Amino acid sequence: MRILVTSDLHVESSGVEPIRRLVAGMSRENPDLVVLAGDLGNPAWIFEQCLTCFLRVGAPVAVLPGNHDIWATADESSQELYGEILPEMTRSMGFHWLEDEALALEEGIGICGSIGWYDYSARAPELNQSDEELIALKPRFAMDAVKVDWELTDKEFAGQCRERIVGQAQSLQQDPRIERIVAVTHVPIFDNQIDRRPGNMAWAQGNAYFGHLTIGEQLLPFSKLTHVISGHTHVGMNGVVERPAGPVATAVVSSDYGRPRWITIDL
Ligand SMILES: [Fe+2]
Ligand SMILES: [Fe+2]
């Protein structure tokens, strides 16, 4: 069973050529499932261009949105993009919208997923920043501050995302046909997926918008969880979280603008 996870394809910046090459490379690996972990392209017609490339990958495709994908335009609000436009577009191509529904594969593998968002739990501990400071600083680190046009706070939306993915994981854990769970999120959910640079003040301040560690804490008790793959930071990382029920392998996809990458999981 081979699952390939890619993320942060940013077709708005690279165009489709690098994605076509990526898809050709992924297809040669004969995957059983391909997961796209968000930041595929904005606005929506570019997101669609990205999805169209994956019609040729030769495997079922599961899709998550990233923060860039829900940036509002004159015609499309963030809520419309997140709740209607992107899910409908994904389903119309025959792909699975993982944000709303876990995937239970016949081979006994369950996939849960979410954009994840950030709840400031990845903030740099040495800076002692309050939520109010982080809200005020956000426009300097994350364009989401001006481009996401809903009224929800980061903590409110992140809480909704957390509730959904934990619910997905719970139903997979309880499903006797499922032997192991793979979680895919746009935003990293474990500290070992976060690139910490304590000596670099600007970098350390930005960490608050690059993780949702509360999801990781709440997924860890699910004994079937064996793999966590995320995107968003564009900094490739590989690690292991040890626990009594057995290790969880963690990774971040190393894609950057114009240089898409994928991670292979063989189960
Ligand atoms: Fe990205
Ligand atoms: Fe992102």
49-108 residue pLDDT tens: 999 999 999 999 999 999 999 999 999 999 999 999 999 999 999 999 999 999 999 999
Give the three-class secondary structure for 180.
strand
Nearest ligand (C-alpha, residue 185): 2
pLDDT one-digit tens code per residue, 136-185? 999 999 999 999 999 999 999 999 999 999 999 999 999 999 999 999 99
Name the pTM for this structure.
0.98
Q: Which domains does the chain have, with CATH numbers?
A: 2-266 (3.60.21.10)
- 40 CA distance to ligand 1 middle (Å): 8
Beta-strand ranges (E) seen in 143-236 are 180-185, 225-230
The pLDDT value recorded for residue 137 is 96
On whether the CB atoms of residues 106 and 140 are closer than 8 A, the answer is no
Contacts of 251 (CB under 8 A, 6+ apart): 193, 227, 228, 229, 230, 236, 237, 238, 239, 263
Pick from 263, 235, 259, 236: which is nearest to 17 by CA?
259
- Find the 261 Cα to ligand 2 centroid distance in Å: 15
Say if CB 158 and CB 116 are below 8 A apart: yes
Residue 226: the pLDDT is 98
Strand order in the sheet with 109-114: 103-104, 109-114, 180-185, 225-230, 248-252, 237-241
Name the pairing type of β-strands 103-104 and 96-97.
unpaired
Q: What is the pLDDT of residues 199-227, one digit of tens each?
A: 899 999 999 999 999 999 999 999 999 99
In what helix (H) or strand (E) does residue 102 lie, and over which residues does it extend?
none
* φ, ψ at 243 (rounded to 5°): -160, 165
Per-residue confidence band for 198, with pLDDT thresholds at 50, 70 and 90 = confident
CA 154 – ligand 2 centroid, Å: 14
CA of 69 to the centre of ligand 2 (A): 8
**Quick one: which of 166, 154, 261 has its CA closest to 215?**
166
* 258 CA to centre of ligand 1 in angstroms: 11
Ligand with the closest atom to the CA of 209 = 2
How close is the Cα of 196 to the center of ligand 2, in Å? 17
